């Protein structure tokens, strides 16, 4: 009996990761001019950012209950055990839908062995939890060990990020329109975090250089042994900013391991082009 791992596209890991590590990708949906696409599979995130810059509106949604029903029924029929590491329940209804459908499938297939874990994480912060789970499985860890590690990393994952335009978060309901208005008016850029799965503003900073260095200060205040951690960096189609952040982190903390990727279409639709984010643990397993 094997262990199957499931994760959302909101983990912002590259498609190659899912294929190479045999992790089941559950794509969320992005709507562009009323056409629907599977995140990461049906449309490239860079294309979505290009359309957003051109003024095209986007919306997002979670997978359908029918999608989860088939996925979990197939798992039950396979006889394998399953671990679904889900996108934060505070940012999407995906976790709640998956948990509900898992209970329904278990009524028809009592042998279903599936744990659905709300990571309370997003983007590469969530992706780092998924990657660690895949690495543990590869090294022979059992289900309970993988779940314990994922729960620990989820609890201690820091998400520090900034967006160049607060309007995107306001449109998606992640930030009040008043805050977005005054932020744009004063050319103030926010530093935000995800705490207990929720989007929380930390500070407002004026000036890009000061902004990036303050993000490093927060890493130093909160992080543990940053030199030896795998640090995640995600960007809204701005590879130059991601590389600049990487070099700043290397110079300040001596970090040598990074996981860098473009933000996916779903999270990118809410955060917008030019977003830059860093992810790290405040306590090590």
Beta strand residue intervals within 142-220, DSSP E: 157-162, 189-195, 198-205
Q: Which domains does the chain have, with CATH numbers?
A: 3-155 (3.40.50.10170), 157-281 (3.30.1180.10)
CA distances from 211 to 162, 176, 180, 217 (A): 8, 21, 17, 10
Kindly report, residue by residue over 18-37, the tens digit of the pLDDT.
Answer: 999 999 999 999 998 889 99
Mean pLDDT of 72-99: 96
Summarised one tens digit per residue, pLDDT across range 97-135 is 999 999 999 999 999 999 999 999 999 999 999 999 999
SS3 content of the chain, % helix, strand, coil (to 5): 45, 25, 30
pTM score of the predicted model: 0.93
**What tokens were used for 108?**
């028809």
The closest of 188, 209, 237, 222 to 53, measured between CA atoms, is 237
Sheet containing strand 157-162, strands side by side: 198-205, 189-195, 157-162, 276-281, 230-235, 257-262
């Amino acid at each position: 009996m094997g262990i199957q791992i499931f994760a959302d596209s909101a983990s912002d890991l590259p498609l190659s990761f899912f294929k190479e590590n045999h992790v089941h990708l559950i794509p969320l949906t992005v709507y562009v001019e009323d056409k629907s696409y599977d995140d990461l599979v049906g449309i490239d995130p860079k294309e979505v950012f290009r359309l957003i810059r051109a003024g095209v509106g986007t919306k997002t949604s979670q997978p359908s209950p029918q999608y989860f029903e088939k996925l979990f029924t197939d798992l039950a029929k396979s006889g394998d055990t399953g671990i679904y590491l889900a996108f934060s329940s505070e940012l999407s209804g995906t976790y709640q839908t998956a948990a509900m459908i898992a209970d329904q499938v278990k009524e028809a297939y009592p042998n279903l062995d599936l744990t659905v874990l709300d990571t309370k994480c997003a983007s590469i912060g969530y992706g780092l939890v998924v990657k660690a789970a895949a690495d543990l499985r590869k090294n022979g860890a059992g289900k309970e060990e993988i779940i314990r590690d994922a729960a620990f990393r989820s609890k201690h994952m820091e998400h520090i990020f900034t967006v160049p335009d607060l309007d995107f978060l306001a449109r998606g309901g992640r930030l009040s329109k008043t805050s977005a208005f005054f932020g744009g008016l004063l050319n103030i850029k926010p530093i935000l975090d995800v705490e207990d799965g929720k989007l929380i503003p930390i500070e407002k900073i004026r000036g890009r250089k000061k902004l990036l260095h303050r993000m490093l200060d927060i890493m130093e205040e909160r992080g543990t042994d940053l030199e030896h951690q795998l640090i995640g960096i995600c960007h809204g189609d701005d590879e130059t900013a991601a590389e600049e952040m990487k070099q700043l982190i290397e110079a300040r903390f001596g970090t040598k391991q990074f996981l860098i990727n473009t933000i996916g279409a779903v999270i990118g639709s809410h955060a917008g082009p030019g977003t830059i984010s860093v992810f790290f643990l405040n306590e090590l397993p």
